[in-house]
Chains A and B, each alone.
Chain A
């Protein structure tokens, strides 16, 4: 029982990381129809920026995020304006290739600016072990799970009730119709990139606080991608839930079956789910896959 609880807890931690990163993917896809292959690099870049802020100003977690998030949103806006906006009207495939190029550039910039050495980055979160229901956690692990919960709830409320969220759903449903009723589609695209960068920064900081800050952090973007597929490419909330599902399944497989089946297990689940629901657990039936 103790062992099972440990596996479930660790599954929720890694699942929360997947979920947060996947939410960023889904948000951009939902609003723009583009798979942002630079999402992992955005996670990495914003985490390094936060690390510099932390090292310079010695901030605790919440003040640190209060500074990191706006900077990340500004980066998201700049990237959208410089690289994505000029591609409006071009084939989706071309825009996706731009994000691939962007990924390489961001990776290079990060290593150039911060070097290749990995860092310990606790993000102002205490490192003393706490026990909940007999299961030990680092506080950063609880912050990670908590952040996913808060962002999922906030994301649901935003898309469901806010004017901007409804406009975003309208653009996702039918871009031309949204334009005709006076919604600024380009503005929605920019906001999607800003929000996605904000989520990326939270994911990046909390991932680094749990698993060190290193230049291969971008790779977590690829590792989280199955969660986007499983949840549904256009479902922000679905991606978050799917992240948890994959995290828990991976850890249970590793714990009880073992020997490298962690990675395979997530994909087995995806194959099975997609055979039954090709649009993912929470996705729309008519989405265009790229």
Chain B
């Protein structure tokens, strides 16, 4: 009887070893959550994000996992609705018991989830919403990857100014009348002031605008020949289409959403070899190698969904796995957060600039490279290396 009690006590002690660890970790598995836009018009972002996590997890698991533990990705759809993001993360924490979070949807969505992230000290890598509101004020367990729209536009306009600026250059800006548009304008403003070029016209438009004929006519009237195009996807394409109709000779800087295949398909017929600046690579050996990897770990349908959001989420999970790996067998959220905070020059194999979170904002990947579209072939060529601006 006494021996039985001792054996039971020993068993309970041994079993509490795993219960003592943070949720989402067992001897064989680490559960990583992913709150994402899987339905609705913006779901092409969510699908791409999801594929990035899947490829990174498959690659890590094939190499033996994180100190022998396999990564399991659990995805929840938020439909790009902040209230649903909160519900989704509640479910991931309370029902699925995730250990960390990699997919975080849009800016408003990650902000909606922030109380839960902070309350649970959930190691979180934000890869698709590099917005100042996310990393200021700094939340201890939140690490952000990505550059600002402001830097992205400044980088492109700097390239145009130094390399391809037309004679009698007149700069113009068209942007959404929201925070995103404000960030675009900040980069434009910095560029025109610093370069001392003629600021021809700045136009705001409401999200969802389809017909830009009046705005583009205004641009032509103002003599604009360097355009900071703050439209996205169909909006950006409609702006370029109107410019083509008016036979405008333009150098065009664009939002990084315009390097995604659906956007390129819409905009390329206008014939403008526009620029984009992005904090992930769009072409070259790193992307070729990634796509080979993708064919190994993802279905044809998933490979077709790959875009820049796939790359950025892939590097996000790799960075998270690196930090978890450094914690050894005693994996806890506190340790992971500490290791992420110490992460320096983490090599992403050329997919982005090396990642370092050892800065006050816990922000990395701020370096952007400038690319140019070949509209006829729908391919991008790198014009600059990754650089901070």
Contact = CB atoms under 8 A, between A and B. Distances in A.
Interface stretch (B7-15, B41-49, B320-328): B41-49
Contacts of A7: 213-214, 217
Interface residues of B, number: 35
Interface stretch (A257-265, A269-277, A279-287): A257-265
A105 B41 CA distance: 15
A219 to B, nearest CB: 6
Given A6-B213, A212-B234, A111 B269 contact: no
Nearest to A216: B41
A10 B40 contact: no
B57 interface: no
A201 B214 CA distance: 26
Interface stretch (A23-31, A87-95, A112-120): A112-120
Contact of A212 (B43, B177, B220, B238): B238
A138 interface: yes
B247 A136 contact: yes
Interface stretch (B22-30, B124-132, B152-160, B201-209): B201-209
A145 to B, nearest CB: 13
A240 B215 CA distance: 24
B213 A120 contact: no
A227 to B, nearest CB: 14
Contacts of A211: 210-211, 234, 238
A260 B42 contact: no
Nearest to B265: A120
Contacts of B266: 118-120, 212
B212 to A, nearest CB: 9
Interface string B16-55: 0000000000000000000000011111100000000000
A226 interface: no
Given A3-B221, A116-B40, A263-B206, A255 B262 contact: no
Contact of A111 (B40, B220, B221, B241): B40
Contacts of B246: 6, 136
Contacts of B244: 129
A6 B211 CA distance: 13
A39 interface: no
Nearest to B39: A111
A251 interface: yes
Nearest to A129: B245
A124 B247 CA distance: 23
A93 to B, nearest CB: 27
A260 B41 contact: no
A117 B269 CA distance: 17
Contacts of B210: 207, 211-212, 220
A124 to B, nearest CB: 15
A212 B232 CA distance: 13
Given A14-B211, A129-B245, A116 B218 contact: no
Given A211-B234, A259-B204, A10 B177 contact: no
A186 interface: no
A120 B43 CA distance: 18
Given A120-B265, A212-B238, A216-B208, A258 B218 contact: yes
B319 interface: no
B40 A212 contact: no
A21 interface: no
B280 to A, nearest CB: 20
Judged by DSSP, the binding face of B is helix
B214 A118 contact: no
Contacts of B205: 260, 262
B92 interface: no
Given A118-B266, A259-B204, A254 B215 contact: yes
A13 interface: yes
A116 B234 contact: no
A260 B234 contact: no
Given A136-B245, A260-B177, A263-B206, A117 B211 contact: no
Contacts of A212: 210, 234, 237-238, 266
A258 B174 CA distance: 12
A14 B217 CA distance: 14
A17 B238 CA distance: 15
A10 B262 contact: no
B233 interface: yes
Contacts of B234: 118, 211-212, 214
A14 B213 contact: yes
Nearest to B234: A212
Contacts of A258: 203, 218
B269 A118 contact: no
Contacts of A136: 245-247
A118 B367 CA distance: 30
B261 to A, nearest CB: 9
Nearest to A138: B245
B262 A118 contact: yes
Contacts of A215: 40-41
A137 interface: yes
A52 interface: no
B44 A117 contact: yes
A45 B262 CA distance: 20
B265 A255 contact: no
B107 to A, nearest CB: 19
10 contacts: A6-B246, A10-B217, A111-B43, A118-B262, A136-B247, A212-B237, A215-B41, A216-B41, A260-B177, A260-B206
Given A14-B213, A111-B43, A136-B245, 15 more contacts: A9-B213, A10-B211, A10-B217, A115-B44, A116-B44, A118-B262, A119-B265, A119-B266, A136-B246, A211-B211, A212-B237, A214-B233, A250-B214, A258-B218, A262-B206
Interface of A: 3, 6-7, 9-11, 13-14, 17, 111, 115-120, 127, 129, 136-138, 207, 210-212, 214-216, 219-220, 250-251, 254-255, 258-260, 262-263
Task: List 10 A-B pairs, minimum CB-CB distance, nearest first.
Answer: A10-B213, A254-B214, A211-B210, A212-B234, A215-B41, A6-B217, A251-B214, A117-B262, A116-B43, A14-B211
